[in-house]
Amino acid sequence: MEFPTYDVAVARDGLDLDKALEAGEGDGYEVHRVVILHADQLVAEQAGPRYGLVKMTDQPMAYGTLWTWAALTRAGVGIPEFPLFKTRVLSMEKVTQTPVDPTSPGPGTGSP
């Protein structure tokens, strides 16, 4: 089973986006890897109208951002409420996962 996974770069509090980019990762922004679960999608679907979102097919980027917000919130990452969070997202990149052959030896096992 594959779960949608994203690397999300979020500007630090008190920095505008340009300053966050200039300062770089760590000082200006943090990158979080987040796995989107069904529960996150459901939270986003229910919260969407509260934040002015309508159909997901009409606003896929907004809902994708809301998914990552819900997942980061679930994971206990200290992020602001969605209206401020969406203005601090610098980048949201889908992580492609390489399928693993379950019959192959794991990394570092010394097997060919």
- Per-residue confidence at 109, pLDDT binned at 50, 70, 90? low
- pLDDT tens sequence across 43-78: 999 999 999 998 888 899 999 999 999 999 999 999
- Per-residue confidence at 104, pLDDT binned at 50, 70, 90? low
Q: Which residue has the tokens 């097919």?
A: 57
**Given this model, what pLDDT does residue 54 score?**
87
Evaluate whether residue 63 is within a structural domain: yes
Number of domains composing the chain: 1
**Given this model, what pLDDT does residue 57 score?**
86
- pTM (two decimals): 0.81
- 77 to 18, 25, 73, 112: CA distances (angstroms): 23, 17, 6, 40
Give the range of the structural domain holding residue 69, as residue numbers without chain letter: 5-94
Evaluate whether residue 105 is within a structural domain: no
Evaluate whether residue 108 is within a structural domain: no
